[in-house]
């Protein structure tokens, strides 16, 4: 479970992930907000039609903890969707079951998403505390990882410096996930519970669970797929009264702490 390679394999099953082989196929994510009382029915349906995530922890009810450190400018330009930060989020992601970390960029246009992720070790975060001089940002944001740089995370560092982004909020949750594949490609269902957020301006993930609860008593459901809506998901939406809605954990965290105003760290 602590093998970074096994984590990378698991995350490669996410339909929106940019693969190292150059695969840039489109992907979609539909989000739903459910009362906790309704979530078990969706989980039972998913367990019947899909495969549970093999890396889930039995002690967490076959789920796992996900923690993400989101970057923003001091003026919260990402939160306020100011160009050029209105569509992209940079974040550091970790899993409590592993020492592996991931540098990630997520680009969203409506329900269409694309992710790019690079695994790193915790010691490599020291590079962000003593960064090089601000670089110019290439217009080709889909350039292959590395792109003439020695370090695999150089693309992420370059973009964060060029946009004036820094660690701002850490968000965690307990995630249940179910995987599958079909003629439409890979599909994935995730349910996020016990979502919390806390200000964090350091290049590290705070240990443990804390901060303010963001969606008490509610669960974020996501349907993830490539290109056309899979027939299996169409059946789910026919069987259950689910209505898509925009849900941003990062935006919820900023509002919970100060409604988009000046962020004050705690602790």
- pLDDT band at residue 184, thresholds of 50, 70 and 90? confident
Domains of the chain: 4-258 (2.40.320.10)
Is the pLDDT score of 111 beyond 90?
A: no
Considering the chain, what is the average pLDDT of its residues? 84
How far does Cα 25 stand from its chain's mean position? 18
CA distances 20 to 64, 73, 97, 137, 172, Å, are 25, 29, 24, 21, 27
pTM here is 0.84
The lowest-confidence range among 117-126, 147-156, 183-192, 199-208 is 147-156
Confidence of residue 140 (pLDDT cuts 50, 70, 90): very low
Spatial CA neighbour of 68 closest among 101, 88, 91:
91
Question: Is the bond leading into 221 cis (omega within 30 degrees of zero)?
Answer: no
Q: Does the structure show a pLDDT above 90 at 266? A: no
Q: Which pLDDT value is given to residue 155?
A: 97
241 pLDDT more than 50? yes
Q: Mapped to the 3 state alphabet, what secondary structure does the chain carry?
A: CCCHHHHHHHHHCCCCECCCCCCCCCEEEEEEEEEHHHHHHHHHHHHHHCEECCCCEHHHCCEEEEEEEEEECCCCCCCCCCCCCCCEEEEEEEECCCCCEEEEEEEEECCEEEEEEEEECHHHHHHHHCCCCCCCCCCCCCCCCCCCCCCCCHHHHHHHHHCCCEEEEEEEEEEEEEEEEECCEEEEEEEEEEEEEEECCCCCCCCCCCCEECCCCEEEEEEEEECCCCHHHHHHHHHCCCCCCCCCHHHHHHHHHHCCCCCCCCC
- Considering only residues 155 and 181, tell me which one the structure prediction assigns the higher pLDDT: 155
Parallel, antiparallel or unpaired: strands 185-199 and 212-213: antiparallel
């Amino acid at each position: 479970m602590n093998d970074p390679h096994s984590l990378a394999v698991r995350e490669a099953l996410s339909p929106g992930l940019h693969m190292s082989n150059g695969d840039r196929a489109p992907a979609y994510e539909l989000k739903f907000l459910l009362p906790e009382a309704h979530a078990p029915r969706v989980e039972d349906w998913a367990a019947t039609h899909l495969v549970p995530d093999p890396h889930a922890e039995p002690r967490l009810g076959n789920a796992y903890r996900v923690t993400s450190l989101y970057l923003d400018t001091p003026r919260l330009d990402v939160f306020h969707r100011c160009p050029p930060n209105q569509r992209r989020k940079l974040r550091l992601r970790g899993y409590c079951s592993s020492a592996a970390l991931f540098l990630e960029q997520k680009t969203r246009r409506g329900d269409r998403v694309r992710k790019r992720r690079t695994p790193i070790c915790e010691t490599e975060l020291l590079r962000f505390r003593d960064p090089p001089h601000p670089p110019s940002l290439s217009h080709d944001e889909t350039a292959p990882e590395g792109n003439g740089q020695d370090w695999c995370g150089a693309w992420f560092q370059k973009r964060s410096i060029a946009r004036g982004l820094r660690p701002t909020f850490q968000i965690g949750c307990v995630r249940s996930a179910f995987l599958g594949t079909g003629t439409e490609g890979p599909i994935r269902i995730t349910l996020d519970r016990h979502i919390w957020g806390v200000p964090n301006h350091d290049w590290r993930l705070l240990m443990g669970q804390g901060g303010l609860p963001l969606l008490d008593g509610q669960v974020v459901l996501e349907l993830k797929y490539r290109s056309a809506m899979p027939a299996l998901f169409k059946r789910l939406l026919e069987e259950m009264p689910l209505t898509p809605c925009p849900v941003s954990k990062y935006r919820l965290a900023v509002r919970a702490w100060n409604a988009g105003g000046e962020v004050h760290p705690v602790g």
